[in-house]
Amino acid sequence: MDIEYFSKETVHVPIMVDEVIGLLNPVEGGIYVDGTLGGGGHTEAIYKKIQTKGTIIGVDSDAAAINRAESRLKKIFCNNNSNSLSHAEGSIRFVHANYTYAPEALKMLGIDKVDGILLDLGLSSDQLNDDERGFSFNSNGKLDLRFDITEGEPAHLLINRLKEEDIACMIFQYGEEKFARKIAREIVAKRKIKNIETAAELAEIIRNCTPKRRTPKVKSYNSRSIIIDPATKTFQALRIAVNKELESLKTILNLAPKLLKQNGKIIVISFHSLEDRIVKNSFKNNPNWNIITKKPIISSQSELEQNPRSRSAKLRCAELF
């Protein structure tokens, strides 16, 4: 884990910013953790509320994301005489780590407890545009899928070593893909000829296992239908597996009550039914939480029109008793 200061541009559009600010209600002098910094959109909105009087800690496993976010936020908030996002009484601090290391990060920064925690669990547009890590189905770079390329096993090594049964189980469990067994069988058959190295290679294998007539469509909010690529669920499953995303989510939800001040809030934006179920049950089963969102909040129609990727987002919020 490092506190890092990096530079580059982000193209990511943050999800449900108004809803996040309305629920989190950042106060002057408050301290907040953005556990999934991404392009820094949510951090920007929070900092506008607490600027110079409070602190926000932007945490991300992806060093490139920190690079882009810091560069953009400096352009927005730093005056001509300063290149620092730190002030006498407040700052934005950047931490390169998985959000499960939030306790260690706060300790390093001399912070005991915070007023709010935000987690946006979605994959960013910046990551999809990174051809080197295979997040895009058409990428000819290595099928990596790790947020932090210094830790864990890349996806191409995983699918080239796992047994067929284990691949099928992973795709079905994490991707809820009904063609999991067929896809796993084809992956094993293809790798006997040649190791599967790129996202494009894997995506083509998956598409050939999925009947075209069954390719699902999602109605868009600008009168068009969005065709969901058949590779979506399998790639999602692999990404969750290599980054241990569900385990990390459970860990931070267990840690959060110890990190928050009384009446502090946690907001989680999830994009997968497994994630949302974990958040829902964690809030429900922990007596420390006062659940603010009895049902998850979804994106408004205007946001869906501007950002179709927000269609599966669900926001839940709880407050510490």
What's the CATH code of the domain at 148?
1.10.150.170
What's the pLDDT at 230? Answer: 93
Q: Are 110 and 138 found together in one domain? A: no
What's the pLDDT at 174? Answer: 96
What's the pLDDT at 79? Answer: 63
Pick the last residue of a domain from 207, 227, 243. Answer: 243
CA distance 108 to 133: 30
Beta-sheet pairing, 225-227 with 217-219: antiparallel
Does residue 83 sit within a domain?
yes
Please state, in angstroms and as integers, the Cα–Cα distance from residue 47 to each residue in 18, 125, 173, following that order.
14, 22, 38
Pick the last residue of a domain from 190, 216, 243. Answer: 243
Does residue 56 sit within a domain?
yes
pLDDT profile of the chain (321 residues), mean per 10: 43 86 95 95 93 90 92 81 58 94 95 97 75 84 92 96 98 96 98 96 94 58 66 94 97 98 97 96 97 96 87 96 93
Q: Are 251 and 214 found together in one domain? A: no
What's the pLDDT at 224? Answer: 53
H/E element, 115 = strand 114-120
What's the pLDDT at 5? Answer: 36
Q: Provide the residue type at 273 as one letter.
A: S
Query: How many folded domains does the chain comprise?
Result: 2
Does residue 250 sit within a domain?
yes
Name the packing angle between helices 164-175 and 180-193 (round to 10°): 140
What's the pLDDT at 201? Answer: 97
For residue 299, with 0-12 CB atoms within 10 Å meaning exposed, 13-18 middle and 19 or more buried, which class applies? buried
H/E element, 250 = helix 245-259
